[in-house]
Amino acid sequence: MSFLRIRNAGGESTAANFTPHIVLAALGIAAIIVAVLIWSDREVDRIALERDRAIGSLVLEQSVERIAHAQEAATVWDAAVLALRQRPLDFRWIDRNIGTWFYGYAGFDEVYILSPSDEPLYAMREGKRAVPESYIAVEDVAAPMVARLRRTREVSRLAAGEGTMLSPGQEDFTVLRGRPAIISVKPVMPDTDAVVEEEGHEAVHISIVYLDDDFFARIGSQYGLANVRYQIAPSLNPRESSIPLRTHGGRTIGYLVWEPFAPGSQVTEIVGPTLVLVLLLSTAAIYVLASRLAKRNSDLEESRLLAHHQATHDGLTGLGNRAMFEGRFDEALSHARRHGTMLALLYIDLDRFKQVNDTLGHPAGDALIRQVARRLVAEVRRYDVVARLGGDEFAILIREPEDRAVIDRICLRIVGQLEQPFNVSGSQAYIGASIGVAITPDDGLDRTELTRRADIALYQAKAEGRSRYVLFSSGMDEAVRTRETTERELRQALADCDAQLRLYYQPVFSARTGEMTGVEALLRWQHPENGLITPEAFIPAAEETGLIEMLGAWVLRRAALDAGAWPDLRVAVNVSPIQVRNRKFADTVRAILAETGLAPERLEIEITETALMAASSEVAASLKDLRALGIACALDDFGTGYSSLSHIRDIAVDRIKIDRSFVQAVHTASGAALVEAIVGLASAKGVHLTAEGVEDSAQYAFLSQVGCDEVQGYLLARPMPADQVTQMLAEKQYILPPQHDGNHPAAAI
Ligand code: C2E
Ligand code: CA
Ligand code: CA
């Protein structure tokens, strides 16, 4: 059933979506931090690598320079120049000073010495003197360098002494015997002016150092290069660095490869896990905070929904309330209008709910209402709307019924269902319901009009005797309009009572003496347009609108005032049950008596049998109070209501007024017998008896004969204005006792 749909799905998702957003944002920030870290580490690594590569180049350069520099320890030396001029050569001296000595001193692997005419004079390999001719193995590489040295001798001399070098030289990377090597060529030249040597014609000293493991181990430790080595091709390992070894001729003879120092990567390795942990923890913290926040938000949302639910639903039954119903009604109406479909509005009013509440108590009343709600919901379809408008009022929307017959069936079922007894507080309660129905488009197109018409139909259903349903018809509208007009005009009349309201009096006579004993006050409305209106035409309207209380008070006061002119007459005033039900009624009467000075014994209150039989405790209490004041109470229209004759015994009244219909039936045997029985019962109980509506003398004769106390009717006197009563009394127009010969006494007016 639609009224059970409580939650607003949109509202809930706002709260639920909140946490993921915040967590995503936190993760995003974490990702950015990690990315910046990685980037900065890469950048650090890149800078470190550049530096490393510069170091690598420097290492190579310095390795070459170191060899050349070491070489100069022996080649720039007067003794060496002289030793190499000497013939035969002193090989032992050469070994010790410029040959094998270098093997141990500077790690030179090979040394060759050429004469000024480029003849090999000396050779050393791996610390041992070799035959000079072994020069041939390196000649291909060495000879061009020697030639170049001799050619550039002049230029180089200028440079010599300006740097760290003492002498010119030629150095290069090369491949010798299939191995990478550094080769350095230096002239053997004097270091003082004591020895003179022609430039360009010196002996030449050639040193060769192979780039072997020893070499790399040395430069590795010297420059802090990890795993440094020679490779024929650059390293494919991304974590390794390679720089080419290039000869002066531009030939790449291999690569220097090492593992560069990558501080960034190390930072990443060291800091990374900690950072990730920190980020995870802070994301978790943010998640917790965010979900708390989201929870609070969703709590708020929930309480908002709850408030909304409470604002739109009836707490007792869980059905929609009036506010909700009106919203759904508007929706359904616009749907019906768009699609040209029917929509039925059912107004349901429980018939005897008040009694259940009064006799079984409020918890029982609540339980009953809940059961009614359940039965109503069970009788309609899922998409119909059931709501509790308040108290014992319900409303149903039947959406898109195929035809009026469907609506009839549903109403009939509901009436039938609510006629079934309800089990409350261990006892069975019978209530029943009245239903008013209005259908769009026939009975109107907007909510206000349909509501009004369903209400009219409901009123009609109640007026027709309850536990039934009534479909609105245009005739009812007419009746309601008349009632509404009456009400409006009655208000005006009341605002100006003495101008429009009149009180007539119908004399009442003793059936034995024919003497006028009292009058009954009868209300008339002198309508400005419609003339004199009898009470039956407006009293019901006054009762419905509550105007009856003001009206009744006016009648009482008027009657009491007029009665001042007739000190010997009893004044009877008709009162509506609505007046009597008011607990303050006796007080009102007492106040009016005090105000007007009418003795309570002269006043008689007439109340209809129907009103008295349906007497609530309030009516009984009011009557008791009135009688305690000394005011008499008469049971009006006796015989028209529910009470059987035997009930007379139980009724606490001073007078019974036999209804006109009985009087009219006295010419029949059964009618006569009935009146005789009533007279018997009344006298047995000591209750006075008045016969109303006496229209002919036969009736009058019969009534006086059987012992009826008083008579009232057109035969004797019609209702008349107060001054006519005064006149009647003054002219002593007493009615003669009935004569049994059929001669009718003259009737007044
Ligand atoms: P009721 O109390 O039964 O009043 C008697 C009605 O019968 C009066 O009608 C009266 O004119 C009419 N009547 C009297 N004699 C005869 C007769 O011989 N033949 C016929 N056919 N009718 C006769 P009325 O004045 O139209 O009053 C109608 C009803 O209105 C009254 O019935 C009473 O119940 C009510 N009523 C009148 N005045 C008041 C009032 O001030 N307050 C209240 N609450 N109801 C009033
Ligand atoms: Ca009456
Ligand atoms: Ca009457």
The CATH code of the domain at 76-211 is 3.30.450
Tokens 């944002």 correspond to 25
Is residue 90 predicted with pLDDT exceeding 50? yes
Q: What is the pLDDT of residue 15?
A: 47
Cα 186 from Cα 149, distance rounded (Å) = 8
Q: What is the pLDDT of residue 641?
A: 63
CB atoms under 10 Å from CB of 247, counted, come to 14
Is residue 278 predicted with pLDDT exceeding 90? no
Is residue 580 predicted with pLDDT exceeding 50? yes
Cα 515 from Cα 509, distance rounded (Å) = 5
CATH of 497-731+744-748, one of 3.40.250.10, 3.40.50.300, 3.40.800.20, 3.20.20.450: 3.20.20.450
As a whole number, mean pLDDT of residues 146-171 equals 69
Cα 76 from Cα 203, distance rounded (Å) = 11
- Alpha-helical runs (H) found in 162-249: 213-223
Is residue 346 predicted with pLDDT exceeding 50? yes
More confident residue, 61 or 111: 111
User: pLDDT tens, 249-274?
Assistant: 888 888 888 887 777 777 777 877 88
Cα 678 from Cα 663, distance rounded (Å) = 12
Q: pLDDT grade, residue 5 (50/70/90)?
A: very low
User: pLDDT tens, 176-215?
Assistant: 888 889 999 999 989 888 888 887 788 999 999 998 888 8
Is residue 309 predicted with pLDDT exceeding 50? yes
Cα 741 from Cα 747, distance rounded (Å) = 17
State which H helix or E strand residue 230 sits in.
strand 226-231
Which tokens hold the place of 273? 């896990």
Residues with CB under 5 A from ligand 2 (ion): 574, 606, 636
| Domain coordinates in residue numbering, the chain | 2-49+264-308, 76-211, 313-472, 497-731+744-748
Is residue 99 predicted with pLDDT exceeding 80? yes
As a whole number, mean pLDDT of residues 687-709 equals 95
Alpha carbon of 522 to ligand 1 centroid (Å): 6
The CATH code of the domain at 313-472 is 3.30.70.270
Cα 208 from Cα 647, distance rounded (Å) = 151
Question: Are 59 and 219 a contacting pair, CB within 8 Å?
Answer: yes
pTM confidence score: 0.52
DSSP string, 32-89: HHHHHHHHHHHHHHHHHHHHHHHHHHHHHHHHHHHHHHHHHHHHB-HHHHHHHHSSS-
Q: What is the pLDDT of residue 228?
A: 86
Q: What is the pLDDT of residue 10?
A: 41
Q: pLDDT grade, residue 358 (50/70/90)?
A: confident
Q: pLDDT grade, residue 565 (50/70/90)?
A: very high
Residues with CB under 5 A from ligand 3 (ion): 636-637, 692
CB 695 near ligand 1, within 6 Å: yes
More confident residue, 618 or 524: 524
Atom number of ligand 1 nearest to Cα 695:
18
Q: Assign 640 to helix, strand or coil.
A: coil
- By DSSP bridging, strand 203-210 and strand 655-658 are unpaired
Question: Are 268 and 257 a contacting pair, CB within 8 Å?
Answer: no
Query: What are the two backbone dihedrals, phi and then psi, of residue 426, each rounded to the nearest 5 degrees?
Result: 75, 0
Q: What is the pLDDT of residue 161?
A: 46
Question: Are 370 and 469 a contacting pair, CB within 8 Å?
Answer: no
- CA of 572, nearest ligand number: 2
Cα 78 from Cα 85, distance rounded (Å) = 11
Q: What is the pLDDT of residue 668?
A: 94
Tokens 């029949």 correspond to 668
In the sheet that 393-399 helps form, which strands lie side by side, from edge to edge?
A: 385-390, 393-399, 343-350, 433-440, 469-471
As a whole number, mean pLDDT of residues 19-23 equals 74
Least confident of 272-286, 401-415, 619-633, 729-743: 729-743
Cα 362 from Cα 719, distance rounded (Å) = 48
Is residue 162 predicted with pLDDT exceeding 60? no
CB 264 near ligand 1, within 6 Å: no
More confident residue, 135 or 268: 135
Is residue 53 predicted with pLDDT exceeding 90? no
Q: What is the pLDDT of residue 659?
A: 93
Question: Are 496 and 528 a contacting pair, CB within 8 Å?
Answer: no
Q: What is the pLDDT of residue 3?
A: 43
Residue 567 falls in which region: left (phi positive, over 0), alpha (psi -120 to 50) or beta: alpha
Cα 186 from Cα 165, distance rounded (Å) = 11
Tokens 């007080």 correspond to 587
User: pLDDT tens, 497-531?
Assistant: 788 999 999 999 999 999 999 999 999 999 999 89
More confident residue, 704 or 107: 704
Q: What is the pLDDT of residue 136?
A: 92
- The percent of residues in the chain predicted with pLDDT above 70, rounded, is 92
- Cα dihedral angle (571, 594, 554, 726), rounded to 10 degrees? 40
Q: Assign 659 to helix, strand or coil.
A: coil
* 363-366-371 Cα angle (round to 5): 130
CB 519 near ligand 1, within 6 Å: no
Is residue 592 predicted with pLDDT exceeding 80? yes
Which tokens hold the place of 155? 């230029």
Q: What is the pLDDT of residue 642?
A: 57
> Atom 11, ligand 1: which residue's CA is nearest?
719
CB 118 near ligand 1, within 6 Å: no
Q: What is the DSSP letter of 199?
A: T
User: pLDDT tens, 214-261?
Assistant: 888 887 887 778 888 888 888 888 888 888 888 888 888 888 888 877
Question: Are 563 and 598 a contacting pair, CB within 8 Å?
Answer: yes
CB 577 near ligand 1, within 6 Å: no
As a whole number, mean pLDDT of residues 401-418 equals 94
Least confident of 127-131, 220-224, 315-319: 220-224
Q: What is the pLDDT of residue 2?
A: 43
CB 571 near ligand 1, within 6 Å: no
CB atoms under 10 Å from CB of 507, counted, come to 25
Which tokens hold the place of 225? 């290069």
Is residue 576 predicted with pLDDT exceeding 60? yes
- Cα dihedral angle (280, 284, 286, 292), rounded to 10 degrees? 180
Q: What is the pLDDT of residue 239?
A: 80
Question: Are 173 and 247 a contacting pair, CB within 8 Å?
Answer: yes
Residue 255 falls in which region: left (phi positive, over 0), alpha (psi -120 to 50) or beta: beta
Mean predicted lDDT score pLDDT of the chain: 87
Q: pLDDT grade, residue 155 (50/70/90)?
A: very low
Q: pLDDT grade, residue 645 (50/70/90)?
A: low
> Per residue in 17-36, is it b (16+ CB within 10 Å) or e — as a string?
ebbeebbeebeeebeeeeee
More confident residue, 546 or 618: 546
Is residue 573 predicted with pLDDT exceeding 90? yes
CB 576 near ligand 1, within 6 Å: yes
- The percent of residues in the chain predicted with pLDDT above 90, rounded, is 48
Cα 622 from Cα 631, distance rounded (Å) = 11
As a whole number, mean pLDDT of residues 568-576 equals 96
